[in-house]
Each structure stands twice: as structure tokens, then as C-alpha cells.
Structure 1
Amino acid sequence: MSARDTFGGGVAVITGAGSGIGAGLARHACRLGMSVMLADVDETAVISVRDELNASGATAEHAVCDVRDPDAMVALAERTYAGLGPVRLLVNNAGVEQFGYLWDTPVDNWRRVVDVNVNGVFHGIRAFLPKMIEATTPAWVWNLSSIGGVAVVPLQAPYIMSKHAILALTECLRLEVQLAGHEHIRVQAVLPGAVASNIFESAGGVDGVAGGDVNAAEAQRAAMLDIKADAMDPLAAAEVVFDQAAEDRFYLLTQPDYVGSAMAERAETLATQRAPMLRTKRRFDPAAQ
């Protein structure tokens, strides 16, 4: 079936919907005829997306919601089911970045990455999945990993770790849903390549006063911003993801050749048990949601 046949008429909940691929997914969901609940910690950004979508004739609501707060995610689920109806698509997308050597990373920055990128996905699943299971109607869960989920990159260890974690979490969740016999639930992993967003600008850095290597951290930020200049448009990325999901693929790749090559290289590295190698020019750079 087409993406419109699969998702049209349903309700989508998207975290991190105020910008980047989250906003792109929301826009394309509305193009397909979905109603959307937009969740983000940035009230100004998420209201702007909501107003844009409603002005186009779509049905969009917003919630200022911090995915790090399990109670806030439960409240989001209750509000969505009460106001919009059963959820057909849950997109756990909210994510943050961190630059710098791992030993220079401030503890609060490490916790921020783990709390948003990993715990936020867990909280979303706990808040929504039981309701989706109970409804017994077809439903989808998308967790946002990244090309960084199949790559290793220095000076971004917290982020890369988190995206590897989400890929493994999603693979396990798919098996658990099957094991429990919930055949109406589809779990899929989204691996964006370079997709335009503001994640690099808002990424954490290191504290030079505390002895951190600020130059190394900021050089990595600059390198990622260079990649952003040629990044894929979020709306175009969203269309690819929805089309692949409708084909019932598990790994949803915004740039199939680019991300697929990174996956193949990762598989070869593990199969040959080759140690990670530094490159003067990396072939694959993570560009997040």
C-alpha cells in the first residue's frame, strides 16, 4: 500500500517536532491526511509549526513537553487519546548533540544526552505503547537512531553512543512485540543521514575553564555545520521515510545509498573484528535529526 493508504486518516505523535526532521515528518504526515500532535520543549518553534499546519487545512495540536519527564509523556498520551483519538504513529524523535573529548564532557551534558536521546525514547514507549496495544488497530512506532547509530566518530561519543543504544533498543522492541503476539504493532528504526536541522548549533560543548579542549570541540562543531550546508531537506527526508515504512521495511533510511553504505561498512568491521581506525577525512559523518 501507499503511504497515504497506510497512514492517512490516522493520528501521529511526534516529539522534537519544532524543527529539523521532526517538523518535516509532521508536515508530510499532514500531507498524507494525518492529524498530528506536535511535542517539543521549544514553545515558540512548536507553535509556529502548529500554526503553519493548521493554516494549510490540517489538524495539528501542540504540547510543550520535555521527553526527559516520564509523567509529562504520560500526560501527553492521555491528552492525545482524549483530544485526537487512537495513535496510529508514534515518532520518538527528540534528540540533542554533544561535541568534545569524552573526558572533557561535563557531567550535566552527558546526562542531557542520555536523558533526551535514550530515556526520552523509553518514556515515549512506556506512555504510548500499552494504549496502542490495547486498541488492537494497526499502529507504528518509529524510534530515531541515526547514521551515527552504525558509525564511530571521535569528539561526539555521547551522541554516537546514544544512537547505537536506540538502534539496539528498537531491534529488541520489535522482537518483544512479536514475542508478545501484538501483530498489529509495527516497530521501525529511522536512520537519518545528513538532514538539515539546528541540532549542531544547540549542541553542548566543553568547559575551557575546567581544562577542556574547547578548540577540538568547536572544530568538530564547525565540521558538522559544513555538512549541514549540503544536508537533505527535512520534508524530502520525511517523504522517503513514510514511503519505506509503508513498504514494511524495518530500517528506514533517509538516503538509502549513503546510510546503507555506512551500515555495510559497520557490518564488515564487526565481521572482520577490525579495530576502529582514525581517518584524516571520514567517509561517513553523522548528521542527526
Structure 2
Amino acid sequence: MITNFKGKTAVLTGAGSGFGLECARMGARLGMNLVLVDVQQDALDQASAEMQATGAQVASFRLDVSSADQMQAMSQSVFERFGAPHFVFNNAGVGSGGLIWENSVKDWEWVLGVNLWGVIHGVRLFTPMMLEAAATDPSWQGHIVNTASMAGLLNPPNMGVYNVSKHAVVSLSETLYQDLRLVSDQVGASVLCPYFVPTGISQSHRNRPAGLDAEKPTRSQLIGQAMTDKAVGSGKVTAAEVAQKVFDAMATDQFYIFSHPKALGNVQSRMECIVQQANPMDPFAERPEIGRDLKMALRAG
């Protein structure tokens, strides 16, 4: 929980666009010191310039969050300049589609590297710093927010690698919440589970490292990309609105953060199938035409 953000330090990965950028903007308005982390140099430069223009203290790092060494160096620099950060937003993420057996080893390495290992590194590097700061100052407050997805609570077909990465982030975050409760009342944790919000994630392949060049996309991957582009692009909830929810959650110590609470009916249905030992539900029950079109497209010669 953080009740007063002024003068506090925020570390934000994926800060060049989407939720990271909007949380940086909000942090700047609240008088926070900002550590901006992104893999895309031009987006990072633009975000840094915008935040500095507000008068905020800004440090920026172009790095790959999946790299233990790069994240270690960044965390050390942050500590030396600002001390332990109060708000850590492990938010960098990439999208991926296609039938689960068609994803290459490189696909798995890239998506799990960013979506899961990026969060792992953020948690393992910053949590000890935050707990130490809390132990030496009874008034110190900190909070870690990890970006998962509704795909961390559901299993939409034709996007398995992404689902796996996001389920792992939900599990990591729930465990982090429980573990922190064992040792401190001053450091909290939340998990952000957005549904379709226009953020740029559907075009994340633009930042795929050269060494992880994919094979030519399969039919299912092309279909998955088109469906994601359409769904994300038509999202009605904005990244700025989600950023507000993140800050509200930190102020009230709320663990689950949802951009689209109405989608929780699908989560409930999934859990009921598990409890009743029923087979997984039809993911297209509410929009049968989408399922029909997807099946036809995949089965076409």
C-alpha cells in the first residue's frame, strides 16, 4: 500500500507505451521520481523527454527485461541514485498467437523471457531492497504490481504461449502477496489482469530480438495475429483508465486489478468447470460466430 506518492520512486518496465507510459504520466503528476525501462529506444527517449518536461526526476534504461545481468545492473543503479523504489511495475509484455504445438522453441523463449522472466527478475531484485527499507523505517511504504492478463485466468484458444506466461505471472503474484504478508505489513503486491485494451502489445513482434527470428508464421499464427489486432484495436477502455486503477489499487491495498470486471463471469464459469470436474467450457459461448469463423479458417485447406 502507498498512501502518498509525492517524492516516492517508481520503476516501470515497458514504460515506452501502454500501461507503463500511462503509469509514468500519472506518477509524474503525483510528484514521483521515475525509472523508465523499455527495449525500444525511440519510445523510451520520447517518454523520458515527456516526463522530464514535467519536472520529474527521471532515469531511463534501454534493456531487455529477460536478461538477468541487464536487470541486475539497472536495479543497482536505481538503488544508488534513489534508494529502494516504492512502486515497482513489472509490466513489460509481448503477445503471441498460434496453435500451441506450432510455436517454436524461439517463440517460447521470447514470450516467457519477457512476460515471465521479466517479472521474476523485477521481484527477486527489488523485493529485498524494499523489505530492507521497510525494516529500517516503520513509515516506509512500498508496492509491487505485476502485469498479467485475463489470459492468466482463462485459456483462450490459439494463443497458448501467451496464456502460459500470464498464468505463471498470476501464480507468482498471488504467492508474492502471501509471502510478503508473512514478513511485512509495509510492502504490498497486486496483479493487473487487463482484457483487450489498446496498448500496442498486438504489435510487440516489432521488438523481437534478432537472435530470436521466427520461422515464417504458420496459418494459425497469422489468424491469431489478425484476431488480436482486431480485438485490441477495438478496446473501449483506455490505458490511462487502467493506470488510474493501478494507482487506486496501491492506495487501497487491492490485489486483483481488472480493466473489464464484466469478463469475470468467464473466470467463474472456468472455475465451476474445475470444481465440478467438467470438461473445459466453450470459450466462444457468448460469441459463437467468432468460434465458428476461427474453426473454419483453421480447417480450410
TM over 0.5: yes
State the AA in 2 paired with 1:201.
Q
Distance 1:254 1:72 in 2: 31
Distance change >3 Å, CA 183–CA 200, structure 1 → 2: same
Q: Secondary structure at the match of 1:99?
A: coil
Aligned ranges for residues 139-154 of structure 1 at < 5 Å? 139-154=142-157
Q: Which moved more, 1:30-39 or 1:227-236?
A: 227-236
| Aligned position for 1:217 | 221
Identity of aligned residues (%): 32
Instruction: Determine which of 92, 102, 105 is the counterpart of 1:104.
Output: 102
Instruction: Determine which of 248, 253, 259 is the counterpart of 2:258.
Output: 253
Distance 2:186 2:287 in 1: 39
Distance change >3 Å, CA 218–CA 248, structure 1 → 2: same
| Aligned position for 2:243 | 238
Contact preservation (8 Å) 2:149, 2:192: yes
Aligned ranges for residues 192-203 of structure 1 at < 5 Å? 192-203=194-205
Aligned ranges for residues 1-289 of structure 1 at < 5 Å? 5-136=3-134, 137-179=140-182, 181-203=183-205, 207-208=215-216, 214-231=218-235, 232-258=237-263, 260-280=264-284
Distance 2:80 2:7 in 1: 17
| Aligned position for 2:297 | none
Distance 1:91 1:74 in 2: 16
Distance change >3 Å, CA 139–CA 279, structure 1 → 2: closer
Unaligned runs of 5+ in 2: 135-139, 291-301
1:280 Cα offset (Å):
4.8
Unaligned runs of 5+ in 1: none
State the AA in 2 paired with 1:229.
G
Q: Secondary structure at the match of 1:196?
A: coil
State the AA in 1 paired with 2:159.
Q
CA distances 1:147-203 after superposition (whole Å, capped 9, x unpaired): 111111111101001111110111111111222x22211011111122212221234
CA distances 1:31-65 after superposition (whole Å, capped 9, x unpaired): 22211100011111111111111112323221012
1:250 Cα offset (Å):
0.9
Q: Which structure has the greater CA radius of gyration? A: 2
Distance 1:257 1:282 in 2: 13
1:283 Cα offset (Å):
5.6
Distance 1:58 1:230 in 2: 33
Q: Which moved more, 1:185-194 or 1:225-234?
A: 225-234
State the AA in 1 paired with 2:254.
R
1:230 Cα offset (Å):
2.3
Q: Secondary structure at the match of 1:159?
A: helix
Q: Secondary structure at the match of 1:201?
A: helix
Distance 1:11 1:283 in 2: 43
Distance change >3 Å, CA 11–CA 219, structure 1 → 2: same
Contact preservation (8 Å) 2:148, 2:167: yes
State the AA in 2 paired with 1:219.
I
Contact preservation (8 Å) 1:97, 1:199: yes
Distance change >3 Å, CA 108–CA 218, structure 1 → 2: same
Contact preservation (8 Å) 1:96, 1:113: yes
Distance 2:233 2:177 in 1: 35
CA distances 1:65-89 after superposition (whole Å, capped 9, x unpaired): 2111112112111111222333100
State the AA in 1 paired with 2:149.
S
TM-score w.r.t. structure 2 length?
A: 0.85
CA distances 1:67-123 after superposition (whole Å, capped 9, x unpaired): 111121121111112223331001111111111111111111111111111111111
